[in-house]
A = this chain, B = another copy of it.
Amino acid sequence: MPHTAFYISDGTAITAEVIGHATLSQYPIEIEHITSPFIETKELALQLCDHINRCYKTTGNRPFVFFTFVEQEFKKLIKQTECICFDVLSPFTKDISSVLEMKPTPKLHRTHSINLESYDYRIGAMNYALANDDGQTTKHYDDADVILVGVSRSGKTPTSLYLALQYGIKAANYPFVEDDMEHLSLSAELNNNKKRIFGLTIDPARLAAIRHERYANSKYASIRQCRMELREVERMYKKYKIPFINTTHFSVEEISAKVISEMGLERRKY
């Protein structure tokens, strides 16, 4: 008996998705996930109600439905279907309204919509990350919120871009190559911005696997080379007291949260 989950909104449905996914991931069941954003007309809402009812008929299980809606009429329509229904923000607004002595005023596209100030930060940070990726240039480190360092393929680029797009944080990144490591020394540009540097490391076997996908059977992907580079880079972090984490078992969300936390960076999100 397969289960179905719907994430529904008249906006992006990201809030409903995040809550629904976090909740359902606690149960060991197989789920088909269906995201339905921008349900902005009665016609679309009615089509969706049909879809939910059909799912119930087909699977024999009432689908889990997580929604955020500004439009009250659409809430009512969805609630009448054969589903287990969660209006995901309502458990919180009740208490908050009573403390603040004011009613919530839901507005369409408020949560994940454009806010020009923080949006400009994010796009600016993304352009910065792209221009300062992979040590292409080391001239703009004074503008960086953080400079990620590490050997090739240790997770620097995805983390830089995630920090930019989610939080408007300007992250440059610099790949340590053999030359840096032979001398166990930081370049002048890095040394001048030492307090902005954060190091990534990774287990040699995982690094070798990642590099192997890119250049199979190369020296670059050999476990021997990976071990050597990682040993040297970790020695460098210790010598210069550079804070660092091992990314092997972390997602880009987790690496980013740790970088923000350890470096005391500001989220430019709200």
Query: Which residues of A does B touch, CB under 8 Å?
Result: 11-15, 18-29, 31, 33, 35, 37-38, 62, 64, 66, 68, 84, 86, 88-89, 91-93, 95-96, 99-100, 102, 104-107, 109-115, 119, 122-123, 126, 130, 157-158, 161-162, 165, 249-254, 257-258, 260-261, 267, 269-270
- Is B18 a contact partner of A14 (Cβ separation < 8 A)? yes
Asked, given contacts A95-B84, A113-B251, A252-B165, whether A258 binds B38 with beta carbons under 8 Å apart, the answer is yes
- Is B18 a contact partner of A109 (Cβ separation < 8 A)? no
Interface class of chain A by DSSP = mixed
A27 partner, pick from B26, B96, B254, B270, beta carbons under 8 A:
B96
- Is B161 a contact partner of A251 (Cβ separation < 8 A)? no
- Hey, which chain B residues are within 8 Å of A111, CB to CB? 21-22, 25
* Least distance between A13 CB and chain B CB atoms (Å): 7
A237, B64: Cα distance in complex, Å: 38
A11, B96: Cα distance in complex, Å: 25
A96, B26: Cα distance in complex, Å: 10
A31, B100: Cα distance in complex, Å: 13
Asked, given contacts A84-B95, A96-B64, whether A26 binds B106 with beta carbons under 8 Å apart, the answer is yes
Other than the given A26-B104, A26-B110, A27-B104, 8 more pairs (CB < 8 A) read A14-B253, A21-B270, A25-B110, A26-B93, A35-B260, A38-B257, A114-B249, A130-B157
